[in-house]
Amino acid sequence: MKTRRDFIKISAMGTVGAALSGTMLSMARGNASTADPNLAHDGFARLKRTPTYCEICFWMCAGWAYTDENGKIVKITGNENDPHCNGRLCPRGTGGVGMYSDSDRLKKPLIRVTDGDKQTFREASWEEALDLVAGKMKEIKEKYGPESFALFNHGSAGHHLGYLLQAYGSTNIVAPSYAQCRGPREVGFQATFGSGVGSPEPTDIRDTNCLVLIGSHLGENMHNSQVQEMSDAIDKGVTIITVDPRFSTVASKSKFWLPIKPATDLALLLAWINVIITEKLYDRDYVEKYTTGLDQLAKHVENMTPEWAYGITTIKPDLIRKSARAMAEAAPSVIIHPGRHVTWYGDDTQRSRAMAILNGLLGSWGRRGGFYFKESKSIPEHPHPPFPKPAWSWKETLNGKYPLAGLAVSNALIDASIPSPENTHQIKAWLVAGTNLPLTMPQKDTLLKAMQSIEFMAVVDTMPMEITGYADVILPECTYLERYDELRASPNREPFIALRMPAAEPVGDTKPAWWISKQLGERLGLGAYFDYEDFSEVIDWQLKQVGSSLEEMQKIGVKKFERKSGPLYLADGADYTFHTSSGKIEFYSTELAAAGFDPMPVYTPHPEPPESFYRLNYGRAPMHTFSRTANNPNLHDLKKENDVWINPKVAKLWGIKAGQYIWLKNQDGVISDFPVMVRVTERIRWDSVYMVHGFGHTDKKLSRAYGRGASDSDLITKVQIDPIMGGTGMRGNFVTFLTEDPQKEAKS
């Protein structure tokens, strides 16, 4: 039997630590006594440690980067005092060193040049590249107003460039983590509890008795402390209920696995609600005190019996009843996990609402083993002049659609970049930082059209990713291990802050985003917003406001503060006002009703695969993050390419063998750029195929990742847009198989 650590694969040393060379290990046994707490720590003589937090994904685990006597970073470990990681990084975080050491990194600013009909990039000095970007920003501002300059971002660089953009006069700042990721659940939970979910999710997995995962593939989705808590809960015998058309890693640890027909989850959720209400399994005291709309809900689900859902979901009525009872038995120590990447079928806000309602019925919100009340440390803003008020914002680009969108909608800003009579507000130029849009956005044609329509595009990235190929100017950022960034102050059970500071000199001619923003700001006459020489001054000032200092944080990396917002859980019978219009948990949503949407979730069928086509299903691999790690030398070693999972029945029908390379072609005739290896497995239903997202890189400068595996994004040409918040449902695409090299067909 596999051990727990085997399954989770989050360890103190991890892959890179374990791969340290013999010399390094003998060094480790050397002299360990010194007065400086950041020297010779962890038994590694002559290694100096520097606090950081990880940027390989957005869990942002705090850790220590270790440098050798030559100032080179050799390993990263977790910070013991950080609740995001408890001293243990996931394989990706440990492999973060590879992001620093990758020989393919961008090292010089690059400017696009046209020579006849040939376009190339030439190296430029920072002076020249920054002058060019600032000049264009001035020009766009004069011609069209600052609002027509948009920032597409994800991660730390975006904070600095977002600050610059606001000083410049634009709030058209957007990240794919909303409309391609967790937007729908934020809106669905907000409408129900008056509070979104946020990151990290306040799921009290540590103390839960029942964890319900609907498509959420924790263990492959490697969000660190969440996975650690789940692994501990498994040891304690927690009941896990996994709903997934694929036998995921966590399905193998589950008491109930419900191999649902894809796209039908809402029917299952409504049937569960039906069982819990008709069998009176809900938390009566909680429901009476804190919720409204039970009667309407009961009436709404009256006919949505397990027998009704069976016809839709293929899950047997008995299994639906048994799993509902298991949840109720554990309640209120039960979590219907909200999931994270939830833009699936276009009715995603409503599916999230059904999950929120189920949590409300079982009384798990604000309860031990359910959802705790999170708290974060508020960090005062470094003083700066007020931002100018923009004449319009991303809201106007929605043209009255998606009324409940709480953040900018990337796909709407992309549409607003393509001239059309419908566009009352036109985007004319982009700054892109930390998002590889060609592998992130569905509907690549629309993205390409937008990138061809805009007048200017500058990209701030660390790697020659696909997005850089479309830039007019490429500004190479140094990695998170070589720079200061904002203090991390994400919510948790208790408020914590974490420091990131440079552990090594930036490789090549790379610079941090704070410096790039300041340089551009000064060229734009916005110097007053950047009243410091080095970003460390801002951090030190902020730390002093909260009773710490840069000096202290350099030694400890992470600092804990007292909770101020009240208890972690609702005390028995305590009064509590939820931030909904009724002040209660709303089973019947007044907000949705007022905006003209179904106040309670309604199941609607979604398109089925045409004959000889299979639903394209995708997800995560534990050792990779999206497209950003495919070229990372350490992580590439662990998994070089993705494969396509095909059910044995289907493989037999097609005469396809395990290990064979095939091409995928979608319903719109789009063929994968590269062939992908077949994995024949019972773990996927016959009506679907599965692949890990983030492979199939087309940029040849990515020497390891180029041409390895296939990109799911290219095959996602169709989206179902969530009418409530604008998210792009991406799981309604279907593929068929090509066993011969389709080169000609692909080119024509």
Ligand X SMILES: Nc1nc2c(c(=O)[nH]1)N[C@H]1C(S)=C(S)[C@@H](COP(=O)(O)OP(=O)(O)OC[C@H]3O[C@@H](n4cnc5c(=O)[nH]c(N)nc54)[C@H](O)[C@@H]3O)O[C@H]1N2
Q: Which residues of the chain form contacts with Mo ion (CB under 5 A)?
A: 181, 341
Write the interaction track for ligand X spanning residues 575-594; mark x where CB under 6 A is met and - where it is not.
--------------------
Please tell me the distance from the alpha carbon of residue 11 to that of residue 90, in angstroms, as a whole number: 7
At residue 8's C-alpha, the angle toward residues 339 and 569, to 5°, is 50
Kindly tell me which of 93 and 464 has the beta carbon lying closer to ligand SF4: 93
Report the partner that residue 188 touches, choosing among Mo ion, ligand SF4, ligand X, none (CB closer than 5 to 8 A by kind).
Answer: none
Closest distance to ligand X from the beta carbon of 199 (Å) = 9
Please tell me the distance from the alpha carbon of residue 60 to that of residue 558, in angstroms, as a whole number: 12
Closest distance to ligand SF4 from the beta carbon of 577 (Å) = 34
Task: Report 69-98 residues binding ligand SF4 (CB under 6 A).
Answer: 85, 89-90, 92-93
Answer yes or no whether residue 517 interacts with ligand SF4 by CB under 6 A: no
CB-CB neighbours of 283 under 10 Å: 21
Answer yes or no whether residue 618 interacts with ligand X by CB under 6 A: yes
Please tell me the distance from the alpha carbon of residue 692 to that of residue 716, in angstroms, as a whole number: 14
Give kind and range of the element (H or E) at residue 697: none
Answer yes or no whether residue 480 interacts with ligand SF4 by CB under 6 A: no
**3-state SS of 406-444?**
CCCCHHHHHHCCCCCCCCCCCCCEEEEECCCHHHHCCCH
SS3 content of the chain, % helix, strand, coil (to 5): 35, 20, 50
Residue type at 126?
W
| Position closest to Mo ion via CB | 181
Q: Nearest Cα to 570, choosing from 336, 358, 369, 378?
A: 369
Answer yes or no whether residue 54 interacts with ligand SF4 by CB under 6 A: yes
Q: Nearest Cα to 469, choosing from 452, 486, 483, 484?
A: 452
Closest distance to ligand X from the beta carbon of 197 (Å) = 11
Closest distance to Mo ion from the beta carbon of 197 (Å) = 12
Q: Which of 410, 548, 627, 720 binds ligand X (CB under 6 A)?
A: 627
| Binding range to ligand SF4, per CB under 6 A, among 55-63, 261-269, 463-471, 554-562 | 55-63
Closest distance to ligand X from the beta carbon of 145 (Å) = 26
Q: What backbone phi and psi angles, to 5 degrees, belong to 48? A: -105, 140
Answer yes or no whether residue 184 interacts with ligand X by CB under 6 A: no
Q: Nearest Cα to 695, choosing from 748, 609, 747, 623?
A: 623
Closest distance to ligand X from the beta carbon of 539 (Å) = 17
Chain CA centroid to CA 73, Å:
26
Q: Which of 16, 61, 233, 260 binds ligand X (CB under 6 A)?
A: 260
Answer yes or no whether residue 244 interacts with ligand X by CB under 6 A: yes
Q: Which of 16, 56, 240, 524 binds ligand SF4 (CB under 6 A)?
A: 56
Task: Report 688-707 residues binding ligand X (CB under 6 A).
Answer: 690, 693
Q: Reduced to 3 states, what is the DSSP secondary structure of residue 585?
A: strand
| Binding range to ligand SF4, per CB under 6 A, among 57-65, 423-431, 664-672, 711-719 | 57-65
Please tell me the distance from the alpha carbon of residue 614 to that of residue 543, in angstroms, as a whole number: 54
Q: Reduced to 3 states, what is the DSSP secondary structure of residue 590?
A: helix
Closest distance to ligand SF4 from the beta carbon of 469 (Å) = 26
Extract the tokens encoding 157. Answer: 């660089």
Answer yes or no whether residue 222 interacts with ligand SF4 by CB under 6 A: yes
Answer yes or no whether residue 460 interacts with ligand X by CB under 6 A: yes
Residue type at 370?
G
Judged by the rule CB under 6 A, the positions of this chain that interact with ligand X are: 55, 57-58, 154-155, 157, 176-177, 180-181, 214-217, 221-223, 243-246, 248, 260, 262-263, 265, 339-342, 433-436, 439-440, 460-463, 465, 467, 477, 479-480, 617-620, 622, 624-628, 690, 693, 712-713, 716, 730-731
